Amino acid sequence: MFIFDISNPLTLVLMLAATVLLVFLSQEIKKSYVVAIALFAYLVILIFHVAQIATLSEEFRIMISTLSRCIAIDFAFILITFFSYLWVDDIEAKAKGKKSIDNSLDWFWKKI
């Protein structure tokens, strides 16, 4: 059974570096859809890991701890990319003079 193990430290560092670079790119070009693509990818990976843990056969029950760690890391990356999306959307809205999708975190962005 193939498991995309993101709890491996090297994979974790590479995914974090790719996420930070995508956030930086989207901030520089002021396009929030770049971070939205990363958010969608992490959601797909989460669904993939949940489907794997739900359909795990008896012979692979030893992999349940690895999959549980992967799901926890998926949630962390989703949280990071979601807040990054809201931040870049706010930057894009201010640059274009439009209304942001959600202005409820204005108090937070002003402190950054």
pTM of the model: 0.83
- Predicted confidence at residue 58, as pLDDT, reads 85
- Predicted confidence at residue 91, as pLDDT, reads 86
> Minimal CA–CA distance to 82: which of 28, 46, 29?
46
- What's the token pair of residue 92? 């894009």
Tens place of pLDDT for every residue, the chain, 112 residues?
677 888 889 999 999 999 999 999 999 999 999 999 999 999 999 999 999 999 888 888 888 999 999 999 999 999 999 999 988 988 888 888 876 666 666 666 676 6
Q: Could you state, in order of their start, the residue ranges of all structural domains in the chain?
A: 9-111
